[in-house]
Amino acid sequence: MWIIYFLIFLVIILPMFLKITREYERVVVFTLGRFTSVKGPGLVFIIPLVQQIERVELRTVVMDVPSQDVISRDNVSVKVNAVVYFRVIDPERAIIQVENFHAATSQLAQTTLRAVLGKHELDEMLAERDKLNKDIQTILDKQTDAWGIKVSNVEIKHVDIDESMIRAIAKQAEAERERRAKIIHAEGELQASQKLLEASVVLSGNSNAMQLRYLQTLAGIAGEKSSTIVFPVPVDFLKSFMTMADKKIA
What does pLDDT average to over the chain?
Answer: 83
Q: Among the listed ranges 7-11, 79-83, 85-89, which one has the minimum average pLDDT value? A: 7-11
Q: At what angle do helices 101-117 and 129-144 cross, to 10 degrees?
A: 140
Q: List, for residues 128-158, the tens digit of each pLDDT value.
A: 999 999 999 999 999 999 999 999 999 999 8
Pick the CATH number of 61-166 from 3.40.50.300, 3.30.479.30, 1.10.3720.10, 3.20.20.140: 3.30.479.30
**Ranges 8-17, 92-101, 220-229, most confident:** 92-101
Q: List, for residues 201-245, the tens digit of each pLDDT value.
A: 766 666 666 666 666 666 666 666 655 655 555 555 556 555 655
Query: Has this prediction a pTM greater than 0.75?
Result: no
CA distance 19 to 25: 12
pLDDT at 6 over 80: no
Is the distance from CB of 85 to CB of 62 less than 8 angstroms?
yes
Is the distance from CB of 237 to CB of 214 less than 8 angstroms?
yes
CA distance 4 to 171: 84
Q: What pLDDT is attached to residue 174?
A: 79
pLDDT at 196 over 80: no
Q: What pLDDT is attached to residue 13?
A: 79
| All structural domains of the chain with their residue ranges | 2-57, 61-166, 206-218+229-250
The radius of gyration computed from the CA coordinates of the chain, to the nearest angstrom, equals 41
pLDDT at 246 over 90: no
Q: What pLDDT is attached to residue 188?
A: 86
